């Protein structure tokens, strides 16, 4: 008799936890736009590319940072920007070298973007300098042959080595 009572309690608790996990809402993706409430046809998307070793991250645009998303949502990787005008994007370039992380902050002078297009922004280099590449979204990796890009470059900005102290 006592075993049946214990079994019922276990089954009720298990059902409670299983239903709790099933009914938990999954976060919903949302797009962040620096274009305000403009029509989406007047925007273009930039995805800032990076992994744990090297990459580029947006710091701000016109002094505005991306706020935390509202509860139950997360920001999609592509950020919407206004088109038809040059953009000054403050970015962090980061890379790991010899077990410690390095980063540099600077301005990426982005040319005017095309409405409705999707872009990727990449960093290729190290502590001694490199380049920021703006590509279309169909580029899956930066490949070079004899030092020349083997992908379509929309815009390249050379990053010189940091000044000697």
Judge whether 44 lies within some domain. Answer: yes
Judge whether 94 lies within some domain. Answer: yes
Judge whether 17 lies within some domain. Answer: no
Judge whether 8 lies within some domain. Answer: no
Per-residue pLDDT for 112 more than 60? yes
Judge whether 151 lies within some domain. Answer: yes
pLDDT by residue (tens digit) across 21-80? Answer: 555 678 899 999 998 775 667 899 999 999 888 899 999 999 999 999 999 999 999 999
Structure tokens at 1: 């008799």
CB 81 within 8 A of CB 43: yes
Judge whether 20 lies within some domain. Answer: no
- The residue segments making up the domain with residue 75 are 28-159
pLDDT by residue (tens digit) across 88-109? Answer: 999 999 887 655 567 788 999 9
Compute CA 110 distance to the chain's CA centroid, rounded to the nearest angstrom.
16
Judge whether 68 lies within some domain. Answer: yes
In this predicted model, which residue has the larger pLDDT, 128 or 156? 156
How far, in Å, CA of 154 to CA of 9, rounded? Answer: 64
Judge whether 143 lies within some domain. Answer: yes
pTM: 0.79
Looking at the 3D structure of the chain, how many domains does it have? 1
pLDDT of residue 1: 55
How far, in Å, CA of 153 to CA of 3, rounded? Answer: 71
Which residue's structure tokens are 């059902």? Answer: 15
* Confidence grade of residue 122 (pLDDT, cut at 50, 70, 90): very high
């Amino acid at each position: 008799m006592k075993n049946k009572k214990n079994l019922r309690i276990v089954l009720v608790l298990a059902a409670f936890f299983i239903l709790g996990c099933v009914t938990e809402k999954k976060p919903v993706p949302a797009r962040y736009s620096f274009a305000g409430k403009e029509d989406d046809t007047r925007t273009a998307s930039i995805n800032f590319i990076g992994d744990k070793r090297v990459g580029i991250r947006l710091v701000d645009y016109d002094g505005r940072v991306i706020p935390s998303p509202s509860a139950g949502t997360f920001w999609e990787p592509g950020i919407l920007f206004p088109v038809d005008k040059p953009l000054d994007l403050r970015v962090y370039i980061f890379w790991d070298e010899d077990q410690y992380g390095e980063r540099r902050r600077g301005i990426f002078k982005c040319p005017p973007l095309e409405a409705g297009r999707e872009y990727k922004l990449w960093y290729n280099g190290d502590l001694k300098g490199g380049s920021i590449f703006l590509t279309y979204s169909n580029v899956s990796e930066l490949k070079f042959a004899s030092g020349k890009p083997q992908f379509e470059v929309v815009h390249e900005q050379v990053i010189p080595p940091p000044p000697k102290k």
